[in-house]
């Protein structure tokens, strides 16, 4: 069994980032998982309320409003696992921090979408239009690829998962890119001509990706599936394995399909 949290969170900065945590420690025998609220914490809550008890799993969910705090919290031992990120983000985070966190299992895809309050079709974007993008490197590259897939820009060969604005080879509309903190993108949608928004933040911002996105990612062969992550020494823990099995099981897949209706997709 993993070592569990038994004391109050020590960092005031981290405490401010928790969306639904009272700061108290956890009971021994509890698997503590950090997550952003939508859809990750909702999916975990479904598991906790409907599946965990039958599987002999005691689960505690800690919601974070700032996803950048989740990997440090896991690495520092304040969490046993987290659920908010895809593999490219994890790779980038590990390289940046020297952490060695590991992906356990893919659970769902939140299709990245392009949204606008000013045009009904991407082709109607004006010359010199401002397009906001997630500012973290992996999602910035992902957003640029989505624009390229829809004919708004072309990228240099080999730009791949590390593409930046400097890798834009063709930009016929002269689009101006505005990298922005991902959580702020829905709030600032009216201030730009279009915005590339992560699926979870679109949902939190009252958008319905399946209906409101002018373009969105396709699920086939998509590397951006979100999944369960833990420390290397915890990957073989029985409770971590049990949670991974529940998150990738048929009940959770059906829950995702029924609740999100295409705005969040189960991993293949």
Question: pLDDT band at residue 232, thresholds of 50, 70 and 90?
Answer: very high
Total number of domains constituting the chain:
2
CA distances from 83 to 7, 27, 31, 158 (A): 22, 20, 13, 30
Pick the last residue of a domain from 176, 199, 216: 216
Does one domain contain both 102 and 124?
Answer: no
In this structure, the number of other CB atoms found within 10 A of the CB of residue 123 comes to 11
In this structure, the number of other CB atoms found within 10 A of the CB of residue 146 comes to 22
Does one domain contain both 103 and 231?
Answer: yes
For residue 183, tell me if it sits in a domain.
yes
Contact status, residue 168 vs residue 153, Cβ threshold 8 Å: yes
Does one domain contain both 43 and 87?
Answer: yes
Query: Whole domain around residue 155: which residue ranges?
Result: 113-216
9-13, 207-211, 240-244 — most confident range: 240-244
Does one domain contain both 117 and 106?
Answer: no
For residue 4, tell me if it sits in a domain.
no
pLDDT tens column, 109-119: 988 999 999 99
pLDDT tens column, 151-183: 999 999 999 888 999 999 999 999 999 999 999
pLDDT at 218: 80
Does one domain contain both 106 and 118?
Answer: no
pLDDT tens column, 62-98: 999 999 999 999 999 999 999 999 999 999 999 999 9
For residue 7, tell me if it sits in a domain.
no
Does one domain contain both 67 and 93?
Answer: yes
Does one domain contain both 132 and 203?
Answer: yes
Does one domain contain both 154 and 212?
Answer: yes
Q: Indicate whether 1 pLDDT > 70.
A: no
Does one domain contain both 34 and 161?
Answer: no
- Supply the mean pLDDT for the chain: 89
- Alpha-carbon torsion (86, 88, 91, 97), positive or negative: negative
Question: pLDDT band at residue 58, thresholds of 50, 70 and 90?
Answer: very high
pLDDT tens column, 200-229: 889 889 999 889 999 998 877 788 999 999
Tell me the C-alpha distance between 183 and 212, whole Å.
18
CATH code of the domain covering residue 154 = 3.40.190.10
Tell me the C-alpha distance between 216 and 175, whole Å.
19
| pTM score of the predicted model | 0.74
Contact status, residue 127 vs residue 173, Cβ threshold 8 Å: yes
For residue 5, tell me if it sits in a domain.
no
């Amino acid at each position: 069994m993993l070592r569990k949290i038994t004391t109050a969170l020590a960092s005031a900065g981290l405490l401010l980032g928790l969306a639904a945590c009272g700061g108290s420690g956890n009971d021994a025998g509890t698997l503590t998982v950090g997550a952003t609220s939508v859809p990750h914490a909702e999916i975990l809550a479904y598991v906790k309320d409907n599946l965990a008890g039958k599987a002999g799993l005691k689960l505690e969910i800690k919601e974070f409003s700032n996803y950048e705090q989740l990997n440090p919290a896991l690495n520092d031992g304040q969490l046993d696992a987290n659920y908010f990120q895809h593999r490219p983000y994890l790779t980038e985070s590990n390289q940046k921090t020297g952490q060695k966190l590991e992906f356990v299992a893919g659970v769902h895809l939140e299709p990245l979408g392009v949204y606008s309050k000013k045009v009904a079709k991407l082709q109607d974007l004006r010359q010199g239009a401002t397009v906001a993008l997630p500012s973290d490197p992996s999602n910035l590259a992902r957003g640029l690829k989505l624009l390229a897939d829809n004919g708004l820009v072309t990228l240099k060969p080999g730009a791949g998962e590390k593409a930046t604005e400097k890798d834009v080879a063709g930009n016929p509309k002269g689009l101006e890119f505005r990298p922005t903190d991902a959580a702020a993108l829905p709030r600032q949608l009216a201030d730009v001509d279009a915005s590339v928004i992560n699926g979870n933040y679109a949902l939190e911002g009252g958008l319905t990706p399946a209906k409101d996105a002018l373009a969105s990612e396709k699920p086939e062969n998509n590397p951006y599936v979100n999944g369960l992550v833990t420390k290397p020494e915890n990957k073989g823990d029985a409770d971590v394995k049990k949670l991974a099995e529940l998150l990738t099981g048929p009940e959770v897949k059906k829950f995702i399909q029924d609740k999100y209706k295409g705005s969040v997709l189960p991993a293949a």
